[in-house]
Chain A
Amino acid sequence: MTTRTVTYDLATPSLDATGRVVRAPLSAADNQLSAEHMLVNIGPQHPATHGVLRLVVELEGEVVVRVIPHIGYLHSGFEKLGEYRTYNQIIPLTDRNDYLAAPSNNVALAQAAEKLMGIEITERCRVLRVIACEIARIISHLVWAGTTGIDMGAFTVFLWMFQEREKLYNFLEAWTGARLTTSLTRVGGLMADVPDGWTADLRRWCERFPAVLDEVETMLSKNGIWLGRNVDVGVISAADAISFSLSGPMLRASGVPFDVRKDRPYLGYETYDFEVPVGEHGDCYDRYLVRMEEMRQSVRILLQALDRLPEGPINVADPRVILPPKTRGMSDMESMIYHFKQVMEGVAAPVGEAYSAVEGPRGELGYYFVSDGTAKPVRWRIRPPAFLNLAALPRMSEGHLLSDLIAINASVDIVMGEVDR
């Protein structure tokens, strides 16, 4: 028996002088094999599709020729259901829309309804809503980083991120009684004020959390495998990103500095000192950098909000939209009538329409209400950032390898509850 030596090239990428990844060229030597295209179905029950997304992929060898996303497996008809509910009754539906960032959705709904009804909320409510939105952003980005890590084979990140997420869910639980489906807001206010000692605990968490981000960045940012899987993968140009109406980190990674918090400020975001991170190359790696930096900026906003959190009521002093305290409702005739009217009839909005958006973790999360003067909206439309971001997936992934498709899909950060609504 003779032995022979086989030399082969390791496909592990390395960095060139400018820091960009050097890729082994795709070998198209065997044209016999590549002549036949293969149709592969991924999902809807597949962990790497981050929910019930189904992708039909046409492959030439290992190269993706065409991607056709199929959505709707989680379609729940929220917009239709909303037409049969009063504005406050819609709030539990918004929890289930983007279930990784329920507070953002709660705030978006309350804000749109308040715009429709011309309600000006109290300062304490405004600051608490900012805190809720930023907690939601951090939670969502933590889930994104953790699950994307798993998709790339980095399990540690998942555990570290979910540990922090768990702590944040404890804060939400202490505040609202729920971890995932918070139903935090009411039209004109909030369902509850934060409990005693809550702000001090959150401040302690904020001071410690950036160290966790540092650890994760040490693990990933210069990691050869992470770079190889992400750098120059799924590039989308700024012009295409705008044409596809991408928003949030997806748009900003392509170099377009659009952030609803800066461009159409709400909740007093213009008075907070924070930066909007913007990428240059529009690839998966820039999206990773943008999201990591956004978490740091969210911590900055949280600390500023905690500093300025004023005393005072969380609800507007308007008995037509805010339920009276239970004790008053039981003892005082007028309060009981208001209670009865709100519960039985709901709060009527004037004839008109209002579009209002917040910067959710995935981008511009807009709620559009059309009212005909009754207590239930004629039309409730959610402007879904994840839906629009997902629409660009074929553009970003065609021509890449099948394994890159998983990386690109992870970088889009979809939530199927919001895509399908």
Chain B
Amino acid sequence: MSAPHPSVGTLRARFGAAVLRTAVSCGDTFVVVARGQVHEVLAWLKGDPGERYDYLVDLTAVEYRDRERPIEIVWQLWSLGRRELLRVKTELPRDEPLEVDSSCDLWQAANWLEREVWDMFGVRFRGHPDLRRILMWENYAEGFPLRKDFPLRGRYSRSEQVRQALSGNLEAHYSMEELSLQEAEPYLPEKVREDLRDQGLEV
């Protein structure tokens, strides 16, 4: 057994009960943080001169086959100066909306990574500047592919998938952001109009 991860003690001392538990798996330490405090913890880990986890290696989600277990959001942090890895997790219970605070204000890399988690798992990141699908297309209607209740071959039959693809309006693949350009306006599909209205943008 090697020495415990140096950040575990400081995290516990600083945040106390917000650090729900820590564990070591295959030599890597991870810290599970309460959902409400996770942004605060990440900001502290990034900014504190003793921690300096300045590099966001990865941000992803994990859903277990056991449907009772909560969905986990995982941040892999790396300190370039201290050469230390730390994995921070938070758990999203099934009976509440899947939401967690965005870390886009801490790392610009979180922008696309959070979009991917939203796209694949349906987890909303509060405060994300542009939370829309990234790998699947804007009006993809089959749900969130990496969820365990999503069948491997997709929800729709192949013929339905082909029909939707062929009947789709190519202009609908433009994103919200581009649609602020006036000339794209006539091509907006109704769903995108709704989304824009929800975001308080005039079409």
Residues on A lying within 8 angstroms of B by beta carbon are: 37, 39, 56, 58, 66, 68, 70-72, 75, 77, 79-81, 84, 115-116, 118, 240, 242-245, 256, 258, 263-264, 352-355, 357, 364, 366, 368, 370, 372, 378-379, 381, 383, 387-388, 391-392, 395, 420-421
Q: A68-B175, A258-B80 are in contact. Are A245 and B56 (CB under 8 A)?
A: yes
Q: List 20 A-B contacts (CB under 8 A).
A: A39-B183, A75-B135, A244-B109, A245-B109, A258-B80, A264-B85, A354-B25, A354-B26, A355-B58, A355-B85, A366-B58, A368-B74, A372-B65, A379-B60, A379-B63, A387-B112, A388-B112, A391-B111, A395-B108, A421-B135
Contact between chains at A72 and B135 (CB < 8 Å): yes
**B177 interface contact, C-beta 8 A:** yes
Q: A72-B134, A378-B65, A387-B112 are in contact. Are A368 and B177 (CB under 8 A)?
A: no
Contact between chains at A70 and B173 (CB < 8 Å): yes
Please pick, from A66, A258, A388, the residue contacting B109 in the complex, using a CB distance under 8 A: A388
- Looking across the interface, which residue of chain A has its beta carbon closest to that of B176? A68
| Alpha-carbon distance A75/B119, docked complex (angstroms) | 12
**B28 interface contact, C-beta 8 A:** yes
Contact between chains at B109 and A391 (CB < 8 Å): yes
Contact between chains at B66 and A372 (CB < 8 Å): yes
Q: How far is the CB of B81 from chain A (nearest CB, A)?
A: 10
Within 8 Å CB of A258, what residues of B? 55, 80
Q: A70-B175, A355-B76, A381-B58 are in contact. Are A372 and B26 (CB under 8 A)?
A: no
- Total residue contacts A-B, CB cutoff 8 A: 114
Contact between chains at A116 and B57 (CB < 8 Å): no
Please pick, from B26, B108, B116, B133, the residue contacting A243 in the complex, using a CB distance under 8 A: B108
Contact between chains at B177 and A68 (CB < 8 Å): yes
Please pick, from A75, A357, A381, the residue contacting B60 in the complex, using a CB distance under 8 A: A381
**B15 interface contact, C-beta 8 A:** no
Contact between chains at A352 and B25 (CB < 8 Å): yes
The 5 A-B pairs of least Cβ separation, nearest first, read A245-B109, A72-B135, A354-B26, A352-B25, A391-B112
Contact between chains at B184 and A39 (CB < 8 Å): yes
**B91 interface contact, C-beta 8 A:** no
State which residues 123-178 of B face A: CB under 8 Å: 133-137, 145-146, 150, 152, 173-175, 177-178
Please pick, from B76, B173, B178, the residue contacting A366 in the complex, using a CB distance under 8 A: B76
Please pick, from A352, A364, A392, the residue contacting B26 in the complex, using a CB distance under 8 A: A352
Contact between chains at B152 and A81 (CB < 8 Å): yes
State which residues 62-89 of B face A: CB under 8 Å: 62-66, 74, 76, 80, 83, 85, 87
Q: How far is the CB of A137 from chain B (nearest CB, A)?
A: 20
Within 8 Å CB of A378, what residues of B? 62-65
Please pick, from B26, B57, B64, the residue contacting A118 in the complex, using a CB distance under 8 A: B26
- Looking across the interface, which residue of chain A has its beta carbon closest to that of B140? A72
Within 8 Å CB of A263, what residues of B? 83
Contact between chains at A244 and B108 (CB < 8 Å): yes
| Alpha-carbon distance A379/B57, docked complex (angstroms) | 17
Contact between chains at B111 and A245 (CB < 8 Å): no
Within 8 Å CB of B87, what residues of A? 355
**B9 interface contact, C-beta 8 A:** no
- Looking across the interface, which residue of chain B has its beta carbon closest to that of A116? B26
| Alpha-carbon distance A383/B56, docked complex (angstroms) | 11
Within 8 Å CB of B63, what residues of A? 378-379
Within 8 Å CB of B60, what residues of A? 368, 379, 381
Q: How far is the CB of A158 from chain B (nearest CB, A)?
A: 30
| Alpha-carbon distance A148/B15, docked complex (angstroms) | 49
Within 8 Å CB of A72, what residues of B? 133-137
**B200 interface contact, C-beta 8 A:** no
Q: Most chain-A CB neighbours within 10 Å: which of B63, B109, B183? A: B109
| Alpha-carbon distance A71/B116, docked complex (angstroms) | 11
Q: 11 other contacts beyond A354-B25, A355-B85, A366-B57, with CB at 8 A cut-off?
A: A56-B175, A68-B175, A115-B26, A243-B107, A244-B109, A245-B56, A353-B62, A368-B74, A378-B64, A391-B108, A391-B109
Within 8 Å CB of B3, what residues of A? none
Contact between chains at A77 and B178 (CB < 8 Å): no
**B181 interface contact, C-beta 8 A:** yes
Contact between chains at A75 and B136 (CB < 8 Å): yes
- Looking across the interface, which residue of chain A has its beta carbon closest to that of B116? A387
Q: A84-B152, A372-B66, A378-B65 are in contact. Are A242 and B54 (CB under 8 A)?
A: yes
| Alpha-carbon distance A58/B177, docked complex (angstroms) | 11
| Alpha-carbon distance A204/B64, docked complex (angstroms) | 50
Within 8 Å CB of B178, what residues of A? 39, 56, 58, 68
Within 8 Å CB of B25, what residues of A? 352-354
Q: How far is the CB of A83 from chain B (nearest CB, A)?
A: 8
Contact between chains at A370 and B175 (CB < 8 Å): no
| Alpha-carbon distance A34/B57, docked complex (angstroms) | 40
Q: How far is the CB of A215 from chain B (nearest CB, A)?
A: 36
Q: How far is the CB of B54 from chain A (nearest CB, A)?
A: 6
